[in-house]
Amino acid sequence: MKYVILLFIFVGCTTSEEELQRRNVGEYFTGSGVVQYFLPDLPGWANTVASLGCHREASVRFFDLNKLRQSFGLDYQQGLQFQLSFNIDRALRTSENNQSLTEEERLFYSVSERVQAGIVPFKIPTFKKINLIVIDLALTDDAKASSLKTLLKSSEFLTAYPVFVSLCFSEMKTREFLSKINYAGEYSILPMSVLSPFSKDGQLQSTPMMNLKEFFGNDKNIKLIEPKGIHVNELIGFDQKKVY
């Protein structure tokens, strides 16, 4: 009788585990297949930006930009806006980025509708001249922060519209820093989730990058401003370069 009871318990537990596994696998393969547009998550140790030597503040859901653009008829800028919008909303919905695939699927289609309707998270500046400032090291290094503050007060800096780009930190973290140093001028922010491992031609690259001219427009005159002693390889397509 004891053997019968033990066998019943064992079979019951096995069945529950098998059912749970079937549900998890089923969740992955059912639905409309938006997972085809998601690239695999990077492990924590590889979630870095080589040129700046920093780890990203949080994981980024990188998209297969080539497949996304082909499926939805998007240009390069719209594809990056799609990925950016998805990651911004994803971070707002959960601080741990642990949404289920079903939740991510719903978010994907919600973002798709907005982007195709022209509702995007980053508004392209109307100004012809843009100062694109790589701000990451200033957030963690007092000397770089001091140099940045000097730059922001210079007359040369005031001749173009400022866009602060962070390759390692979120928009919220960047805004907090700018508020901390009392920068009150008009500006825009490009956070870490705007880069893509796919080029404007749909070619897979060795690291996430961004073509500035393709994103902002060929009519813009873009000055890339990066920390002294650092060469930011992830940003290409600018007109001039300056250090701070």
Question: What is the tens place of the pLDDT at every residue in 139-158?
Answer: 999 999 999 999 999 998 99
- Of the chain, the percentage scoring pLDDT greater than 70 comes to 85
- Assess if residue 39 is contained within a domain: yes
Pair (46, 81) in one structural domain: yes
Which stretches of 30-164 are DSSP H helices? Answer: 65-72, 76-93, 101-116, 136-140, 142-152
**Pairwise CA distance, residues 67 & 184, whole Å:** 40
Type of residue found at 10: F
Pair (133, 99) in one structural domain: no
- Assess if residue 8 is contained within a domain: no
Residue ranges making up the domain that contains 165 = 129-243
**Pairwise CA distance, residues 122 & 59, whole Å:** 20
Pair (138, 222) in one structural domain: yes
Pair (151, 174) in one structural domain: yes
- Assess if residue 29 is contained within a domain: no
Pair (141, 238) in one structural domain: yes
Pair (110, 155) in one structural domain: no
Is pLDDT of 178 > 70? yes
User: At which of 91, 116, 141 does a domain end?
Assistant: 116
**Pairwise CA distance, residues 63 & 38, whole Å:** 5
- In this predicted model, which residue has the larger pLDDT, 2 or 183? 183
Pair (103, 144) in one structural domain: no
- Mean of pLDDT values over 97-101: 72
- Assess if residue 180 is contained within a domain: yes
Cα separations in angstroms, 16 against 4, 23, 82, 92, 205: 18, 11, 39, 34, 44
Is pLDDT of 26 > 60? no
- In this predicted model, which residue has the larger pLDDT, 166 or 93? 166
- In this predicted model, which residue has the larger pLDDT, 30 or 222? 222
**Pairwise CA distance, residues 195 & 167, whole Å:** 8
User: At which of 116, 147, 182 does a domain end?
Assistant: 116
* Count: domains in the chain: 2
- Ranking 30-39, 91-100, 104-113, 173-182 by mean pLDDT, the lowest is 91-100
Is pLDDT of 201 > 50? yes
101-116 vs 2-29: helix crossing angle, rounded to 10: 10
User: At which of 71, 94, 116 does a domain end?
Assistant: 116
Mapped onto helix, strand or coil, the DSSP state of residue 46 is: helix
Is pLDDT of 31 > 90? no
Confidence grade of residue 97 (pLDDT, cut at 50, 70, 90): low
- Assess if residue 1 is contained within a domain: no
Pair (42, 106) in one structural domain: yes
Pair (97, 195) in one structural domain: no
Pair (71, 158) in one structural domain: no
pLDDT at site 209? 96
- Assess if residue 78 is contained within a domain: yes
Pair (109, 136) in one structural domain: no
- Mean of pLDDT values over 83-105: 83
Of 215, 189, 218, 190, residue with least CA distance to 200? 215
- Mean of pLDDT values over 57-74: 95
pLDDT at site 94? 66
Of 217, 214, 193, residue with least CA distance to 202? 214
- Assess if residue 11 is contained within a domain: no
- Assess if residue 101 is contained within a domain: yes
pLDDT at site 6? 41
Pair (109, 143) in one structural domain: no
Structural tokens at position 238: 């600018």
